[in-house]
Amino acid sequence: MTALPRRSLRPLTGLALPLAVLLLAGCQPPPPPAPAPPALTAEGAAEVHRLRPLAEAGDVEAQYQLGLLHDEGHGVPVDDVEAVRWYRLAAEQGDARAQFHLATMYRRGSGVAQDLAEAARLYRLAAEQGLWEAQFNLALLHADGAGVAQDHEEAARWYRMAAEQGYVGAQNNLAVMYEEGTGVRRDVAEALRLYRLAAVQGDPKAQFNLASIYEQAEGVPQDDAEAARWYRLAADQGHADAQSALAEMYREGRGVGKDEAEALRLHRLAAGQVSARSQYVLGLLHQNGHGVPQDHAEARRLFLQAAGQGHASARNQLGFLALNGLGGAKDPAEAYRHFLQAAEQGESVAQFNLGELYALGLGVRQDQAEAARWFRNSAEQGDLDAQLKLAGMYESGQGVPQDPAEAVRWYREAAAQGDAYGRYNLGAMLANGAGVEADPAEAFALFTLAAGAADERIRQIAEAARDRLAPTLTQAERERAEALIREGAEGEPG
C-alpha cells in the first residue's frame, strides 16, 4: 500500500483567533491633585512672581508649585531644567509630590540626564509616604527591571498598596499577576475580584481582562453574555482589543445575536486604531469574500499593516498571496521571505508552508532535509498536515534517515486527531508490518474508521483495504478490532 498525502500549501482560511492577551496598565498616572495653575497670562506671571520669593526662602509648597508651573508651562514658558531645580529643592525637604515629579523627570530624561536608578530611589521615597502614584510607578520599574533588579514580588507589593488606595491601574496590574501567578501565588478568584474593582470604576483594560476571563472560562463558568457585556463597556470607550473581541462574538453569535454587519463595523473601528488582530481578520474577510466583496489587494494591504506589528498569521497570509499572485505579482521568493519570518515567530501553518517551499524548491533552493526540519517544527505544534508530511518522509527516507518507527509515531499523532489520511497510512504500515510489528486488528480498525471519512477518495481506498484484510483476521483479532473501532468512534471530534 502506498502512503497517501493529504494536502499541500495552504493559507489560514478560517477565522479562529488566539486567546486574548492580558493587558497591563503601564501609562504614567496623572500627577497628584493640585490647584489648577494660572495660564500663561499676566495673571499667571503674577502668580509666579508671588511664589518665587517664598520658594527662595525655603517654602516647600511654593517650591513644589513653582516646579509644577515650569513643568507644565502655566504662568511661564515650559522649562524642564527650572522645573527640576524647584522639584529638587522641595523633594529634599521631603515633599512626596515633588519626589514623585522629580523621579518622573529622571525616568524621562526631561531637564536632567535620564537615570532610572535615581528615578526608582525617588519613587521609593514618595511611595513610602503613601503616594499611590509613586507606589504604582515603583511597581512598574520592579516589574520591568528598570533602574532596579527585576523583582515581581516587590512589584506586587507596591501594586497592592496603590490598589488598596483605589487606583484602577494598580488593581488591574495586580489582577494580571494573580491570574498568571507572577510574583504571587496564582489565584484566579482574587484576580477576578481585582479586575471587577477596576472595571466597575470604568477602567477599559480591566473591563477587557474581566471579559476575557468569562470568555475563556478561566476559574469561572464560561459566560459569553457576561463577556460580551464587559467587552462592550470597554469597546464603547474606544478600547481596540475589546472592539475586536466583541466583533468576533457578533460574528459567531456568542453571547449576543449573530450580526455580521456589527462585527464588520467593530473590526473596522479597531483596525482604524491599529489593532493588528482586526486588521488580520478584515484581511481574511476580504481575501475570502466573507461579508465584503472579495478583494485580494485590500486583503494584502491589511495583512501588511498587521504583519508590520508582528502578527505572524498575517505574515503567513502575505506569503500565500505572493505565492499565488493574489493582490499583486506572483513572487515565490517574496512568499519564501514572508513564510520564513512567520515561521521563525512560531506560526505553525507558516512552518508547514515553508517546509513545502523547501520540498518543492519554490522561491528557494530545494532542500529535503530543511523541509523535514520545518515540518517537524509544525508537527510538534499539532499541525495535521505537517505530521503527515513528516511521517511520509520517515517512511520513504526522504530528507531524513528512513525510520518506520518514526513514521508510525507521526501517523499515529495525526490519526489521534481523527484524521482519515493518518488513520489509513498508519493502518497500511501496521497491515504490512513494514519495519514495524504487524498488527492486523489495529490496521482493520483504522481502515474502518478512515472509511467513514467524507472525502470520497480516501473513503473508497480505505474500504478496499479493509475488505482485503477482513478475511485474514482471526476471531480474537476481529473482536479486538471491533473494540478499537468503538473506542475510536467515541473519540471522534464533535
Among 35-39, 469-473, 478-482, name the one with the lowest average pLDDT: 35-39
Residues 48 and 78: their CA atoms lie apart, in Å, by 13
Residues 436 and 452: their CA atoms lie apart, in Å, by 26
pLDDT tier at 396 (50, 70, 90 boundaries)? very high
pLDDT of 45 reads 81
Residues 17 and 245: their CA atoms lie apart, in Å, by 9
pLDDT tier at 43 (50, 70, 90 boundaries)? confident
**In the structure grid, which three cell numbers stand for residue 75, read together?**
504662568
**In the structure grid, which three cell numbers stand for residue 187, read together?**
489565584
pLDDT score of 146 more than 60: yes
Residue 491 burial (CB < 10 Å; 0-12/13-18/19+)?
Answer: exposed
Higher pLDDT, 26 or 92: 92
**In the structure grid, which three cell numbers stand for residue 233, read together?**
463597556
> No. of H helices and E strands in the chain?
25, 0
**Nearby residues of 365 by Cβ (< 8 Å), 6 or more positions away:** none
Residues 178 and 24: their CA atoms lie apart, in Å, by 12
Please say whether the dihedral angle defined by the alpha carbons of residues 303, 304, 310 and 313, taken in this order, is positive or negative. Answer: positive
Q: What is the signed CA dihedral for 409, 414, 420, 425, rounded to 10 degrees? A: -20
**In the structure grid, which three cell numbers stand for residue 425, read together?**
497510512
Among 78-92, 408-422, 428-442, name the one with the lowest average pLDDT: 428-442
pLDDT tier at 489 (50, 70, 90 boundaries)? confident
pLDDT tier at 186 (50, 70, 90 boundaries)? very high
In this predicted model, what pLDDT tens digit does every residue of 445-473 receive, in sequence order? Answer: 999 999 999 999 999 999 999 999 999 99
Mean pLDDT of the chain: 91
**In the structure grid, which three cell numbers stand for residue 168, read together?**
484602577
In this predicted model, what pLDDT tens digit does every residue of 226-275 receive, in sequence order? Answer: 999 999 999 999 999 999 999 999 999 999 999 999 999 999 999 999 99
Among 2-11, 116-125, 166-175, 456-465, name the one with the lowest average pLDDT: 2-11
Query: Could you tell me the pTM of the whole model?
Result: 0.79
What the chain holds in terms of domains, given with CATH numbers, is 38-129 (1.25.40.10), 418-494 (no CATH)
Please say whether the dihedral angle defined by the alpha carbons of residues 182, 186, 190 and 192, taken in this order, is positive or negative. Answer: positive
Residues 395 and 434: their CA atoms lie apart, in Å, by 9
DSSP string, 168-207: HHHHHHHHHHHHHTSSS---HHHHHHHHHHHHHTT-HHHH
Question: What's the rounded mean pLDDT across residues 366-378?
Answer: 98
pLDDT of 488 reads 84
pLDDT of 493 reads 54
Residues 469 and 347: their CA atoms lie apart, in Å, by 40
Question: What's the rounded mean pLDDT across residues 266-293?
Answer: 95
* Cα maximum dimension of the chain: 108
